[in-house]
Amino acid sequence: MTHNVHTQHEQYLAALDIGSNSFHFVLARHVNQQIQILHAEKYRVQLAQGLDNTFTLSSKAIARGINALEKLATSSQHITPDNFRAVATYTLRQATNAEQFLTAAKRIFPFTIEIISGHEEARLIYQGVAHHRQTNEQQLVIDIGGGSTECIIGQAYQIKTLDSLQLGCVSYQQAFFSDHVISQQAFERAIRSASHQVDSIIKRFANTGWQHAIGTSGTIKAIAKIINAEQEISREITLEDVENLKATLLTFQHFDEIDLPTLKETRRNVLCSGVAILLAIMRCFDIKTLGYCQYALREGVLFEQLENLKHNNVRQRTVESFISRFNIDFHQAENVKSQAVDIYQQVAESWQLTAPIYLELLTFAAQLHELGVDINASSYQKHGKYIIEQADMAGFNQEQQYALAWLVGNQRKKISPYNVTAEYTLTHQTLHKLCVILRFSVLLNQQRYTQADLNLKVNGINNRFEVYLDKQWLIDRPIISTELFYEQQILEAINVTLIVQSNKY
């Protein structure tokens, strides 16, 4: 008798953090509802160095990133796509030609790459730290990356407040230490710039409060190791320690001269900028001591995968919180959702909508379709779209959040184009089909009728959407009958032909 390696008690999970300075890969094993980390790899890519003043990513930077992904793809063949999550952060968020990178990656890397927002990055970083550091204290977590810095306050697994600031060790090296010369003037300019950004969140964070400060990821790790080089047991670093490290760095005139214990060659060029950013943060937040946690974004991604395996979907929790927050009519939302799911199940195979994310997006759009009603009932779909576009939606990557906003915004009336240049996992053709299902579900329920007597049959063939309704049912509902006539014209804008027939079951 043979046994599958991936049993319900043990299966492999993997996460990839496509950062601005390095790509971090981690492989773990899921055993008895716990994560056991087995292996980690780091690829120094420095994507952020390839961003120019117009936020265009250079071909050389793209090539470095693709080369790292190609190596990783070879060693990750045993991992299933469902168990591998790759997230991209600041540089691909900012790059105007991010689709060029994603398209090239798709050719050689068999796993989906998600570009996540700064707030989503912060949330996942905190999840990594919270799972490693079990405490009931309210803690401030700081992660200085290559292009952005995330600051989060939380208690246990609950986040109180967070933000993502556009300051990172690679971008600051380019801005203030581009000639690799070390000077007091360069340090002060970098610290002043970083302090200006940190000042924008000081009041909110101070009002929330914290008992302990924790740093994570490569920049703070490198600084802590240098400071603790002569210590048998590593201790928390102090503001005075970081000030002294800055003074030591000023004894060197050029990056090439830096000679400090434990400093890796790959960190030499971004050490001064990292120290400047950390000094600004510790001074602004009045942090006297800072601990270090080895878990960060990639571990947060792993633990979220584990939560999803337990059917504790973060995106679903986010949607449920919006339903409560915006006083959405739960009964109506569930009616539209039920109708949408019924139609989806009839056309999913013929319309090739079988990927789980399609049903998720459709049900979320149905649940949130009246999100903007409290603002303006006559144009509520526009307000719902805006809220979703601008909100901090935990669990959604940028592509998913924009797609959800577009669906909600086009549930009724005129359909606006899906203007996304980079289509990686969701194509406009797919979203058009989901939009048809959502619009039809909203239309059938717009008068808040009970649809117990509706025996609806639909069929999706290429760009045709065939609907079979009882003739008497339509006669009894003249408003819906009229709306269906206009809907045929509207759907032509997305190249979908709506055919309504009666008495065929």
Tell me: the pLDDT tens digits for 72-93? 998 888 888 888 999 999 999 9
Q: What is the pLDDT of residue 367?
A: 96
Choice among 256-265, 280-289, 303-312 with the minimum mean pLDDT: 303-312
What type of residue is 45? V
For each of the domains in the chain, give its residue range(s) and CATH number, in order of start: 10-116 (3.30.420.40), 134-294 (3.30.420.150), 313-502 (1.10.3210.10)
**With contact defined as beta carbons under 8 Å apart, do 113 and 102 qualify?**
yes
Mean pLDDT across the stretch 225-247?
94
Of residues 406 and 473, more confidently modeled: 406
Q: What is the largest CA-CA distance in the chain?
A: 89
Rama region for 274: left / alpha / beta (φ>0; ψ in -120 to 50; rest): alpha
Q: What is the pLDDT of residue 2?
A: 41
Q: What is the pLDDT of residue 1?
A: 38
What type of residue is 326? F
At 38-62, the pLDDT tens digits run: 889 999 998 988 999 999 999 999 9
Mean pLDDT across the stretch 118-131?
93
At 324-336, the pLDDT tens digits run: 889 999 999 999 9
Asked if the model's pLDDT at residue 420 lies above 80, the reply is: no
Confidence of residue 205 (pLDDT cuts 50, 70, 90): very high
Q: How far is CA 443 from CA 341, 386, 437, in A?
A: 15, 21, 10
% of residues, the chain, pLDDT over 90: 69
Confidence of residue 11 (pLDDT cuts 50, 70, 90): confident
Asked if the model's pLDDT at residue 404 lies above 70, the reply is: yes
At 126-139, the pLDDT tens digits run: 999 998 887 888 99
Of residues 245 and 418, more confidently modeled: 245
Q: How far is CA 129 from CA 25, 216, 226, 292, in A?
A: 17, 8, 22, 10
Mean pLDDT in the chain? 90
Q: What string of H, E and C letters represents the secondary structure of 30-79?
A: EECCEEEEEEEEEEECCHHHHECCCCCECHHHHHHHHHHHHHHHHHCCCC
Asked if the model's pLDDT at residue 493 lies above 60, the reply is: yes
Q: What is the pLDDT of residue 393?
A: 86
Q: How far is CA 42 from CA 18, 30, 128, 266, 303, in A?
A: 10, 22, 17, 11, 19
Q: What is the pLDDT of residue 5?
A: 42
Q: What is the pLDDT of residue 4?
A: 47
Confidence of residue 421 (pLDDT cuts 50, 70, 90): low
At 167-202, the pLDDT tens digits run: 999 999 999 999 999 999 999 999 999 999 999 999
Q: What is the pLDDT of residue 311?
A: 53
C-alpha to C-alpha distance for 41 and 75, rounded to whole angstroms = 11
C-alpha to C-alpha distance for 216 and 281, rounded to whole angstroms = 14
Q: What is the pLDDT of residue 422?
A: 57
To which residue do tokens 């000077």 refer? 183
% of residues, the chain, pLDDT over 70: 94
At 431-441, the pLDDT tens digits run: 999 999 999 99
Q: What is the pLDDT of residue 505?
A: 46
C-alpha to C-alpha distance for 434 and 429, rounded to whole angstroms = 9
**With contact defined as beta carbons under 8 Å apart, do 95 and 55 qualify?**
yes
Confidence of residue 451 (pLDDT cuts 50, 70, 90): low
Q: How many residues does the chain have?
A: 505
